[in-house]
Structure 1
C-alpha cells in the first residue's frame, strides 16, 4: 500500500487549493505546453493517498505549485521522489557543469534520451543566475596532464562557428547529437585540465556559447523544456566566468525563446531588460542584438518604449563592425526580421511587411533556414493584408527550401499555412499549394 503523501497535502493547504481546484490549475498549465490532461478531483485524491503520478505530470505539478506559492517547489518538497526534476533540476543552484554533461551524456544514450522529453517549460525558471563558483582552477593546480591554453578557447569558438553555420543552413535537428557528443567527449575533459584562471574563465565562456547553440538546436527540434535547461546552463557558466557579454546573449536567447512560444509576461520583459543592461559595455553588434529584442518584447507592454528601443538598435547596428562569428556579429536580415515583429505587435502590418521584405533581401546564402522562415512570415502577412497571390509565392518559396531543412519551426510554419489557407481553398492556386504541402510532409508509405 502506498503511503499518504503528506508533503503534497501540506502544499495544497498552503496554496489554498482543494483537489478539484488543483486539478483545474494543472490542466491550465498543461494547456500552455500543448498538452491535454485527463486530471480530475479523483486523480488528485489518489496522489494524496500516495500513488505516484507518471511523467510529465510530476514536472507539471511542481510548476503549478511553484507559481501558486511564488517560490520554487522541488520534487522532494512535494513527495514526488521519482519526478523528472530529479533528472533535470531546473534550479539555478544546480552545478551548471555537472548538469550540462549529465544532459549531454543522456542525449547520447538511446535508452535514456526519451527521459529528456518528460519535462515541461517552467515560468519559474525565468530568473537571473547567481554565481556558483564553478570548479575554479588555478595556475598551481596539482592535476596532471596537458594544461589548457588560450588556443583551446579559440578552438571551441571555431567549432561553435561550424555548428552555427550548419544549423542556419539546414536546421538544428540533425546537429543536436553531434554537438552533444562534442561537448561530452571533447569539452568536458578540457574543462578539467589545469589552467590559469583567465584561460579557465575563457573555457567556461566558450562552453556557455556551445550550450546556447545546443539549446537553440533543441528548440528547433521542438524540445522546448530541454532548450530552456541548456539556456539556463549557459547563463550560469557565463556568470561564473564573469562574462557579461555572453551572459547578455544567454539572457536574450532565453527571452527570445519564451517570446516565440507566446509568453509575453513581465518575467520575459525583465529578462530582455537585464540582457540589455549586461550588454551595455559589449560591442555594438551585441548591443544591437539585445536592444532589438527589447523592442520586440516591450511592444506588448509599452509601445513608446518599444519604438525608442527599435531606433536605438538600428543606430547601434549601423556602428557595428562586420566581425564574423555567431556571437560577435548580428546579421542585418535578423535585425529587420525583429523590426517586423515589433511593428506587427504595434499593429503596423504594412510597415512589418516592408521590414520582412528587407530582411529577406539581406539574407545570405548561409541563412537558408532564416530565409525560409522569413518567406513564411511574408506569406502570412500578405494574406492578413488580403494579398493572396504574393502569399502563395512566398509559401512556394518555403516549400522549395523545405526538403533540405530539418527544423520543427519549418514544420510549424507549413502546418500554419494549411490552417491559414482553409478559408481560401477554392481560390486559384491554393489547391495546388495545399497538394504540394501534403506531398512534401506526408510520411513515405
Structure 2
C-alpha cells in the first residue's frame, strides 16, 4: 500500500487551493512549457496526494505552480515528488521568461541544498551552441532604446552588492565568497524576479540579476565545479538578453569561451568568443572587446595556431588601449593590465613562444603585485615558470614555481591550484633533479588537499 504524500498535501493546504484549481494551474504551466498533452483534473490530483507515482514532467510543473503561488522556489523534493532537482533545465536557453525564472531559481536552490550532487554534474561541451546563437540573433534584432534611467532601490542594492562580491572573487578566489553569494541570491535577488514591476524597471533588474548570476557561475568555475558554472552562465546569458544589454551578454559569452577552452574544447571557445564580438555590433565596450580577443587568442593557442594567436593578442591590445574604466560597467573592472597580460602570457606559452610569454607574464605579475591580487599573481608566476622550463632553466623555474605556490596558498581557487599542478607536471622531464624533488615536496600538501 502506498504512503500518502504528506508534503504535497501540506503544500496544498497552505496554498489554500482546491484540487481542481491546482489541476488547472498545472495545465496552464504545461501549455507554457510546450506540454500540450498534459491536462490533469481533480481526480489526478487526488491520486498524487494518495502517493501514486507522478511521472515526468509533472513533478517539475507542479513545483513551478507552487513556486509562483508562494513567491519562492519550491522544489520537487519539497513536495515529496522527487529527491533530485532538474539539473538539465538550466542547460536550456528558454525563450519563455517564466521558464527562465524557474530555471535560475531552481539552480540557486540546488546549489545551496544539493551542492555535492550538483558539483558532480559534468560540463556539456555542446550546450553553449544554441544559447550563443539565440542570444546573438535576438541581440542583433534589438534596436538601441533610450529612456530615463530607473533607480529602483532593490536594483541599486543588488548592483552595490555585486561590486563587493566581485572584489571578493578577484582578491580571494571564487571559493571564498561563493557560499555567501549563493545564499544572498536565493534569499534576496531571485525572489525579485517573481514580483510585479513596471516595464521600465524590467531591464535594469534583469541586468543586475544577470551580473550576479554570471558571478556565481564564474565563482563555481574558479572553484572547479564546471557543470554548475555552465548552468549559471547559460542562465546569465538569457537574463542578459532580457535586459537588452548587449555588452553584458558578450561578457557572459567571454566567460563561457574561457570555460570551454580550459575544459578541452578550444574550437567551441573560439566560436563563443567570436559570437561575443559580433554581439557588440550595436554597442561599444572596449574592455569587453579586449577580453574577447584575449580569450580567442587562448583558444587559437590551445589549437596550436601561432599566427592567429598573435593576431588576436594584437587586436586585444588595440582594444585595451581605448579602455576608460570610468565609463565601463562595474563588471569590467577586472579586465585590466594584470588580467590581460596574464592571458597573453598563457597564450604565447601554449604556442612555445617563451620570450613573448615571459614578457607578458612579468607585466602581469607587476600589476598583480601592486593590487595584491594573489590569484592572478599565482597564475602568471606559473606561466613564467613554464617559460623558464621551455628554455631549460630549471633553477629559475623552481623559483617562479615556489612563488606560484606561496600565492596559491593565499586564495581559495582551483585554478590557482591547477597552476601549481601544471608547473609540477612540466618538471617531470627533468627527472630526479633535487630542485624537482624539492618542488614536489613543497606542493604535496596543497595538491593533496
TM-score with structure 1 length normalisation? 0.71
1:202 deviates by: 0.9
User: Secondary structure of the residue that 2:212 maps to in structure 1?
Assistant: helix
Equivalent position of 2:357 in the other structure? 352
User: Secondary structure of the residue that 1:320 maps to in structure 2?
Assistant: coil
Q: Are the aligned partners of 1:168 and 1:366 in contact in 2 as well (CA < 8 Å)?
A: no
Q: Do structure 1's residue 96 and structure 2's residue 97 form an aligned pair?
A: no
Change in 2 beyond 3 A, CA 1:268/1:113: same
More helix by share: 2
Cα RMSD between the aligned structures?
2.8
Q: Do structure 1's residue 393 and structure 2's residue 391 form an aligned pair?
A: no
After superposition, give the CA deviation of every residue in 1:1-49 in whole Å (9 maximum; x if it has no partner). xxxxxxxxxxxxxxxxxxxxxxxxxxxxxxxxxxxxxxxxxxxxxxxxx
Equivalent position of 1:311 in the other structure? 314
Distance 1:296 1:433 in 2: 27
Equivalent position of 2:167 in the other structure? 165
Q: Are the aligned partners of 2:261 and 2:299 in contact in 1 as well (CA < 8 Å)?
A: yes
Distance 1:229 1:301 in 2: 29
Residue 117 of structure 1, aligned match among 116, 119, 125: 119
User: Secondary structure of the residue that 1:282 maps to in structure 2?
Assistant: coil
Distance 2:240 2:304 in 1: 29
Residue 327 of structure 1, aligned match among 316, 331, 341: 331
Q: Where do 1:23-422 residues align within 5 Å?
A: 86-89=86-89, 90-93=91-94, 95-109=99-113, 112-129=114-131, 130=134, 149-265=151-267, 267-280=268-281, 281-299=283-301, 300=303, 303-323=306-326, 326-329=330-333, 330-363=335-368, 364-422=370-428
After superposition, give the CA deviation of every residue in 1:413-437 in whole Å (9 maximum; x if it has no partner). 2333333334435434333332222
Q: Are the aligned partners of 1:167 and 1:175 in contact in 2 as well (CA < 8 Å)?
A: yes
Distance 1:313 1:393 in 2: 30
Q: Are the aligned partners of 1:149 and 1:195 in contact in 2 as well (CA < 8 Å)?
A: no
Change in 2 beyond 3 A, CA 1:307/1:83: farther
1:179 deviates by: 0.9
Give the count of matched residue pairs. 346
1:439 deviates by: 4.4
Distance 1:216 1:180 in 2: 12
1:292 deviates by: 2.2
Change in 2 beyond 3 A, CA 1:211/1:348: same
Distance 1:149 1:325 in 2: 16
Q: Are the aligned partners of 2:345 and 2:380 in contact in 1 as well (CA < 8 Å)?
A: no
1:128 deviates by: 4.2
Distance 1:315 1:365 in 2: 23
Bigger mean CA offset, 276-285 vs 179-188 = 276-285
Q: Are the aligned partners of 1:337 and 1:355 in contact in 2 as well (CA < 8 Å)?
A: yes
1:309 deviates by: 2.9
Equivalent position of 2:33 in the other structure? none
Change in 2 beyond 3 A, CA 1:395/1:345: closer
After superposition, give the CA deviation of every residue in 1:270-297 in whole Å (9 maximum; x if it has no partner). 2111101112422222221222222332
Distance 2:340 2:310 in 1: 14
After superposition, give the CA deviation of every residue in 1:235-258 in whole Å (9 maximum; x if it has no partner). 111112211011100111101111
The gaps in structure 2 that reach 5 residues or longer are: 1-80, 139-149
Equivalent position of 1:8 in the other structure? none
After superposition, give the CA deviation of every residue in 1:151-208 in whole Å (9 maximum; x if it has no partner). 4333222211211111122211132211111111110222233333232211111111
Q: Are the aligned partners of 2:101 and 2:193 in contact in 1 as well (CA < 8 Å)?
A: no
TM-score with structure 2 length normalisation? 0.70
Distance 2:84 2:385 in 1: 40
Change in 2 beyond 3 A, CA 1:355/1:153: same
The gaps in structure 1 that reach 5 residues or longer are: 1-80, 134-147
Distance 1:253 1:183 in 2: 20
After superposition, give the CA deviation of every residue in 1:82-127 in whole Å (9 maximum; x if it has no partner). 9978333222227222111111112222xx3222134221122122
Q: Are the aligned partners of 1:84 and 1:118 in contact in 2 as well (CA < 8 Å)?
A: no
Distance 1:254 1:405 in 2: 23
